[in-house]
Structure 1
Amino acid sequence: MVTVEDVRRLTSTFPRSSEHLIRDRIKFRVGSIVYVAFSRDESVMGFAFPKEERAALVAAEPDRFLLPPESELRYNWLLVRLAAIDEQEMRELVLEAWRMVVPKKVYAAYIG
């Protein structure tokens, strides 16, 4: 099972990323934009994800992915159960979430 520590190790390599504890929840941000956040019990990870693609992903894999609460549907955000993904999948989700919030040149330099 993926843990917060696994995500922390990965995000520590991302330029401009920082970790914050907000209302007893661990969140990773670039500036003021949150790109990954955990539920209080650390069993669910929220991450930046394109709004137009999330319904299809949830419909295809409802045992793994969940829509955010109705109050957060306006954001580019999706939820995943950590017990349902492996470390490679976590890396892909978190990297893409970070890519959505950093300038393109920062992402290109990190990848290149």
Structure 2
Amino acid sequence: MTVDEMRRIVLGFPGAVEGTSYGQPAFLVGKTLFTRLRREDQSLVLMEVPFDEREMLIEAEPATFHVTAHYKDYPAVLARIDTLHPGSLHAFLERRWRKLAPKTAVRAWDAAKG
């Protein structure tokens, strides 16, 4: 996936906007971090990923998923954009978005999906 494709997916969530975090390109929902880009390895920080799921992802797809010492104690995984499947990105982000978005936005999202 390209950075532009990633950006379209992220900004497709209601209320998602571009900003910065730690001086890096980031995306917010409200004033809370949704995801951010790590320029040093062209990876996204995907949050709300339990530790056991993270370990499974890293083992199954090491070319895509990884973690650094900084994130080892956080329920998050890093995903290299160029090998991350767009559908997987959407699924990870929807999990995070549902925790951050106003409940009315989540209900509207669900209603629109049918």
What's the TM-score bracket when you normalise by the shorter of the two chains?
0.7 to 0.9
The answer for the alignment partner of 2:59 in structure 1 is 59
Counterpart secondary structure, 1:98: helix
Q: Where do 5+ consecutive residues of structure 1 fail to align?
A: none
Instruction: Output one character per residue of 1:29-49: Cα deviation in whole Å (capped at 9) or x when no partner.
Output: 123321211112572111113
Aligned mates of 2:30, 2:9 — CA distance in 1? 18
Instruction: Output one character per residue of 1:11-58: Cα deviation in whole Å (capped at 9) or x when no partner.
Output: 333223221033441111123321211112572111113223211221
Q: Is the 8 A contact 1:4 1:42 kept in 2?
A: no
How has the CA–CA distance of structure 1 residues 82 and 13 changed in structure 2, closer, same or farther, with 3 Å as cutoff? closer
Aligned mates of 2:72, 2:100 — CA distance in 1? 18
Q: Where do 5+ consecutive residues of structure 2 fail to align?
A: none
How has the CA–CA distance of structure 1 residues 57 and 104 changed in structure 2, closer, same or farther, with 3 Å as cutoff? farther
How has the CA–CA distance of structure 1 residues 57 and 109 changed in structure 2, closer, same or farther, with 3 Å as cutoff? same
Aligned mates of 1:64, 1:85 — CA distance in 2? 6
TM-score, length-scaled by structure 1: 0.75
Tell me how large the CA RMSD over aligned residues is.
Answer: 2.4
Aligned mates of 1:91, 1:85 — CA distance in 2? 10
TM-score, length-scaled by structure 2: 0.74
